């Protein structure tokens, strides 16, 4: 049987507010989320083997644990008896760096989950799909729809049809950030700002004024990321610059492709050994 092929796109947090620490030590957050054309490439087919086979390859495949988001998804679907008498061979080319705040692993699981539902291999209600997604990881539900999204403090997600049309330069130092460790540093909390569907939240002026509450924690821990943001913020024609998720990736936003490409050239001269890519919001 031939492989089916599709892409798993990176997500970016255009804003992130930490609202509250919960008794289980997790946090309530709210965020404005978009997707960019940077993607992992996925191949999948059913097979006659006795267990699922998941292969990761490519630049950012090193060190992926066997207990990854994709294996968690398949194991959970089998445990819930939502997949019967089927095993899969899955190959994932990792173009999205790990521990970058770009949701690579979560989006892999979400994309495969969407594929299984679209092919009617898994037949469940949208409510049950959300329950499954949250059991795999908090970000997985974001990838079930490739739309700009408002994440509310109560975990509700509002999908927004408005396009934002930014060209971006995404950069990352030679190390990633641990989500758990960064959230452990949160001492102050923001008041909720997002309470309903509002397309204007994605207006450029609002995005410029927005914030990522985790930046101050990351910058104290990693001065290289702080200096990286300061450098990017001074690039020609930049609209704004912000860390995504818990880092370590920083995203610089531009209105034109040429501006992003020129910024990448300047960046490369200063940071010769850092990873970077130009892309565009979807």
Catalytic residue list: 11, 139
Measured CA to CA in angstroms, residue 75 lies from 70, 80, 82, 139, 206 at distances of 9, 9, 10, 18, 41
What distance, in Å, lies between the first and last C-alpha atoms of the chain?
Answer: 32
Rounded CA separation 119/44 (Å): 12
Q: What token pair was written down for 17? A: 């507010």
- Which one, of 9, 10, 18, 11, lies nearest residue 33 by Cα? 11
Q: What are the φ and ψ backbone dihedral angles of 244, each rounded to 5 degrees?
A: -105, 135
Nearest to 60, CA basis, from 148, 174, 152, 137: 174
Alpha-carbon span 97 to 28, nearest angstrom: 25
Structural contact between residues 153 and 20, judged by C-beta atoms closer than 8 angstroms: yes
d(C-alpha 43, C-alpha 75), whole Å: 18
Q: How many residues does the chain have?
A: 282
Angstrom distance (rounded) from CA 17 to CA 189: 8
Residue where the block lists tokens 């970077």: 276
């Amino acid at each position: 049987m031939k492989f089916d092929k599709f892409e798993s796109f990176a997500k970016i947090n255009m804003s992130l507010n930490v609202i509250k620490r919960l008794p289980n030590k997790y946090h309530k957050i709210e965020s404005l989320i978009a997707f960019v054309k940077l993607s992992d490439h996925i191949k999948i087919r059913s097979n006659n083997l006795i267990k699922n086979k998941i292969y990761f390859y490519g630049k950012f495949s090193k060190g992926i644990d066997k207990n990854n988001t994709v294996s968690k998804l398949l194991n959970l679907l089998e445990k819930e008896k939502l997949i019967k008498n089927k095993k899969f061979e899955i190959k994932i080319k990792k173009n999205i760096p790990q521990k970058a705040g770009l949701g690579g692993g979560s989006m892999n699981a979400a994309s495969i989950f969407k594929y299984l539902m679209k092919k009617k291999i898994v037949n469940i209600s949208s409510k049950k799909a959300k329950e499954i997604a949250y059991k795999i990881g908090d970000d997985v539900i974001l990838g079930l729809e490739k739309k700009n999204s408002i994440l509310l403090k109560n975990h509700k997600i509002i999908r927004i049809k408005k396009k934002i049309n930014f060209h971006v330069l995404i950069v990352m130092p030679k190390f990633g950030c641990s989500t758990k460790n960064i959230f452990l540093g949160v001492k102050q909390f923001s008041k909720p700002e997002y309470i309903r569907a509002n397309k204007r939240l994605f207006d450029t002026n609002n995005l410029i004024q927005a914030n990522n509450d985790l930046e101050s924690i990351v910058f104290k821990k990693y001065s290289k990321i702080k200096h990286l943001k300061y450098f990017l913020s001074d690039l020609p024609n930049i609209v704004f610059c912000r860390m995504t998720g818990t880092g370590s990736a920083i995203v610089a936003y531009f209105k034109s492709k040429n501006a992003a490409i020129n910024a990448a050239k300047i960046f490369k001269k200063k940071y010769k050994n850092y990873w970077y890519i130009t892309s565009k919001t979807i």
